[in-house]
Each structure stands twice: as structure tokens, then as C-alpha cells.
Structure 1
């Protein structure tokens, strides 16, 4: 092959094209088997990057080739690189090539894949390491079983989850030399997904979405004072600053998972976006620390001494001025703000104020106050759930990794660190001591307060 040498893509060329460029100054090279619909895999040695050639048809015609007769028969260099990355991801997460020692017994029982159910298996194996989870559905399982008849237990969420936990604890389904090890969570899968448009199907699903769904199911079904979801629950505080007045408002909402978005400052490469605008998983390693300190991010969500809060109410709104402004075509929110900021000086002053602030992004947004904003459980009349405060020091104790191009396909695997200090890999029914836990390839990470 005369193409460029690109080991990561699997292309083992001799570099003749680059030599040709260095000798002649012609920088473009096209992979003929990728040409289709007037385009192909084109590389520019002068730019050292993939490019598009608007004159590709003309350039091919120079060599007696008709662009209309080409059909795609080979993968592009980018597609080959993605395949290589995916293969590397699969082998790294599953620790292929490493000498993994299988483990058996209590706490090392696998869950059999029922067909695209690895997302359920990995989530359950991770939750198994939460003490409150074991107390409610393990230690307290007999009480749950005794409260319901055996015939009705197949329709009871608590009983089915307790059966999973007790089976994982027993070690009866994880014995060396046994013909078949592992548990089939068939009834639990059906019951936990009942009524849900996605989780009631046999398709692969997103592990994060599933764990949120599972938390909701536990919240709605848990009996007694101890709720294992409270181990994950926290308040996420948002701070809002009004550009016009400088007033500050804090709001908070309950959360169980801290989602970390990745901000995209600018798009410099055309290969960083997709033509169909579908959400795709990026092939990026993110190094995660074994220990983290979140103390600096702690907030009580209260107004600080140097901050000016919003007034609790708006007593200075002149409804007559507001209605007149609305008759002139201004929005209600803008009219209310104008009435307040001009201290009801009159219709003309209020109208002028709006015209001066027409470019304000939040002109037509509701005027926030300390008593408004995102509804909380308290404002809805619902008692707030338990949120535990404590140290900001955390240690990594488990993570779920995903292999594949989308969270809704591919395969999920869980890695868990036990009290003995060892990491273990839970790959469906296979459980072994992990040699190289791929901490940089995790999708969901579970940290335990130190």
C-alpha cells in the first residue's frame, strides 16, 4: 500500500504519498474506496489534517476517473480510528489480557445477562456496597417477606429487590466448580420497569437514567424510617444575580447524582460534530482521583453579608401603570419591572425605562424574589427528604464503565472496591479480582464519605 502510515487506524502504509508530496508539492491524497456522493476520505499533507476537496471530480477526471461511478467500499481513516478506539475501550474495561482470578462466595455473586440487561446488573452490584441498602433489603428482608403472601411477592417491589440482595449475600449462587453461577433477575427487571416507556422493554438503556428510576421506585416503596436513597441525597444550590439590580437569590433542589457537564468553548474541527446532531459518546479518558475534597463547594444557600437579597414582595407595583404598558404592547414582566424601577413615577417614565433596557436578556423574565424561583418540596407542601451533612472528604469505592458508541447500546461493567482494599470486576455473571481497574473510563462514579 502506498498510503500514509497510521498505526492507530490500522492502516499500514509505506508513506509513498507523503514522499510524493515532498517531491512534487501536491498535498492532497484520496482513499478511492471511500468515494461516494461526490466526496471521500481526503487528506492534505500541507495542512496535516483531513479536508474537503470541492474539485474532487475534476481532479479524478485528470486521471481518467469518473466520480459518478464510485461507490463506497472501504472504511474511512476516521472510521478505522474509531473502530480501533472502541476495540481498545472494550479490552481495557474488561481487562482482557490480564490474568484475572475468579472469586466466589458471599458478596461475589454475579447477575446473569438476560439480554441487554447489563445496565441493571452493574447498577445493582454498585448499590450492593451501600450499607443502608444492605440493611433495608438484606438484614430486614425477613420482615419484608413476612408482610406479604408468597403469591403476592411476585408483584411486590420490596420483596423482589430483597430477594436479589439476599441471593447476592448468600453465596449459594457463587460456588467454584458449580455448573452455573449467577442470579437471573427476571422478575425484578419486569417489576422495576413496569409502566416505564423504556425500562419495560428488553432494549439496552442508560445506566444513569436507570439508577434515577430505581431511586424513585425505592422512595415510593420503602417501608420504615430508613431510606437507602438518603445515602445519595443532597441539595444542589443555585445562585442567581439580577443584572439590573444586583440583587441575589439562592434556590436549592434535591439531587441524588451530581452530573458534571463538559463546557464546549469552541468547535475547531469539523469532526467534532455530527451531521445528524445525534448525541454520541466521546472517546475521552478522564482521570478520576481516588480521593476528592468537596469542602470548598459547600454552601448553605443563604444570603452573604455583602449581598443584597431580593425583596420578599413587590408592594410598589402600580397595577394601573402595568396595565397601560401592556396595552402599549409590552410584556407583563417588563411592565412590572418598569413600575418598580421607576418607583411609579408615571407611564412616560416607565415606558422610557423599558425602551432603555430593550436589549437586556432578562427584560421579559419574571422578577425573581426570595420567595419565588424553582419550587422546592417545602413550597409544594411536601416534607423534605433526609439530606445528610458531613465531611467533604470522599473516597472512590465503585464505578460503572460503558463500552460502545452510545449509552443505549454496548455493554456496562461495574468495578467495586471492597473493605479488603482490592478492586473487583463484576461483568454480568463473571466476578474476579481486578488487576487494572480502568478508572479513567468510568461513566458513573460512586464516592463514599470518609
Structure 2
């Protein structure tokens, strides 16, 4: 028998930056993204935006961060169902996570029959054969409507009254590029993580006019921001965040709230479980002293590192105080809490030759017509919640191109309905 030698065929890839190289660079120093563990695409996207914002802010010639193209302002409206009063709060966001309301799915009877046949075949040890997978079908429109639908919140406390309230989310501004995340990953009845196997009808043109926030109406009464003198006197003089930290250390909650912390040496107070040593009681007293006096001693080395990024000392101290003097967490806290940071004076350290830029105390948002067209989408492959394999489809010159690491090809039939993260571009930009 003759032996045929097959010559080595070298696969040619495009010259460029490998995705693994890019991930290694962006994830450097991060506790999760610097590892080879599986990661969520949305979490990596937000981390990338965070890195972009951070390096843009400290660069002396930067005026606008590329991440500004994704940023938009969300309005949250709370209405007390007992008093009828309302409260409006606002925050910046970089992506729009939307629920997947299975109750709006069509042809659920066909889905039920398909699942029963599949389950019966597996129970009999047979291979289940089907020409097409039958999935619940919903529309992106129904997902967006579910997002802006008022949601009832139980046991809401306000200066108006304590009771039920409704929460409504809408947008104040629209970005040039809008990320929409389908919240397909959820928990089953037994609290195990599952991925919803659902097909979502994705429009090529998306009009978000119905999600526009209207702000306070003339006939609405706002919930007071300030409490009465009697309410203030009744409030405990401590920081609940510190109380939560102490309860996690094993201290019982009730004594912390009623002030019997002074009896720390009483064994009834310390059980269960008591601090194992005097050092534990010392830690407690230190926390409680900080709680009552409001004193905080920042790590000066951490302050210096954060100040080198362009932040004022007061902002650095505030960030370190909220992150237990952890510099890395403090840096992330600064960029994830712009409203709280910008409430203080912002005096970035820049030279006289630096190009003038808008004050960081006044967050800027792009805005325009809320009509978009689909530009790209990312799909999570498979049904497992422990394997994070993604492919990306991008529209280029009227064609859809699939990107799977270094492998790039034209996609003849893009699976629009099976995506996880969608990128829409404002139509007026074309």
C-alpha cells in the first residue's frame, strides 16, 4: 500500500493584534480579567470602558474620552403609593441591560411539546432528533417595554411615608452608540444558574422615543430630601455600612442598633459568635469609634497614587474611605461613582499648557434623535453558564462579518435572534 505524504499547509491569518494579546493587556492587574478563567462579555466591556476613562482623564492632551460615545443619563422615578409623592434621581450608564419577559413569548404550546419529546427521548436513552430547535420567541420591543414598566418595590422608606412604591426607569439622554444587553442568565427554581434559551426578534431599525423621560410634572409633589427634627433625633448616630461590616464579622445586629455596644466585654453580648481574642474587640472598638466620630485616616501612599491620576486630595480620601483604604478598589470606585465624586471640588493636576477641557464636576452627555440602526452584536455560544465562548458579528458596507478570534469571514445568515449584547448606532450619524 502506497503512503501519500500530505504537505504541511500553513494557515494564514491576518496581521494584527490577537484577541488574547488585547485581553492580556486590558486585563493586566485585574483580579479576574488577568486570569484565564471564563468571563462575562458585559463585565469585560465595562472594565474596558473604565480603563479608557481612567487613561483619558490623566492624559494631558485628552479632551473627550471615546467612552463618552456610549454614556447616557438614566432617570429613576420613585412614587410612594401611600402619599403619591415622587422622587427623581439620575445616574450615568454605559449599557442598557433589559429583562427577557418569557410571559410575552409566542407559541409556548409548541415549546412545551418539544421539551416533553426531548425529555422522553433522553429518559429512554435515545438520541433526540429534530430538524429545528423550538425556542420561545419574543421581541426586543417587549423587553424594552418590560424595562420601563413601573415596578413595585416593597417596604420602601422615605421622608414621606414607609410603604410600597413604584420604580420607573427611563432615559434623559441618548448616546451615539447604544449597548443593549439581554439578561439571559438567571436563576432556576433551585437557585442554580441557567441561560434562557430564547429567540429574540431584533429590529434593524430601533426607535426609542417611547422611553424618553419627561421629568417632574407640574402636578407632582417631591418627596422631601430632609427629615424632620424628630426623625433626625430618632436616627441612630452610626454608619449602617460599618454596622453591616460588623455583623459579617459575627457581631449580633440588635446590640449594635440599640447602643449596647458599650457592654462589649459582656459574654451575652458577644455570643454567638464572640471575637476570639482581645484583638477582635479592639477591631470592633476601632470600627465603632470611627462610626460615631466620623474620623478616618487615609493611607497617605494611596492618596499620593490617586492624586497622580489627577484627582484632588478630598476626592482621593473619599474614595479610600469607601473602599477600606484599598487603592485599586478606590480607583475603580472613583470611575464608577462619578456623581458622588463630582459633588466635591474637582481640581485635576494639570500643567498650564494643558488643553482646556470641560469641568469634570459637570458630566457631559451626548444626545440626539433616539432612532438607531443595528451595527454589531455579540453571541454567547452554547447553553452552559460555565463556558463563556463568544463570537461577534459586525456590519461592514452592507455585509455582516463574523469574528471568531483571528478567524474572520462573511456571514451569510447572521443569527440576529440569538445574540447576547447588541450595539446600535444612531441613524443620523450615517
Task: Provide TM-score, normalisation by structure 2.
Answer: 0.46
TM-score by length of 1: 0.44
**Higher Cα radius of gyration:** 1
Relative to total residues, which structure has the larger strand share, 1 or 2? 2
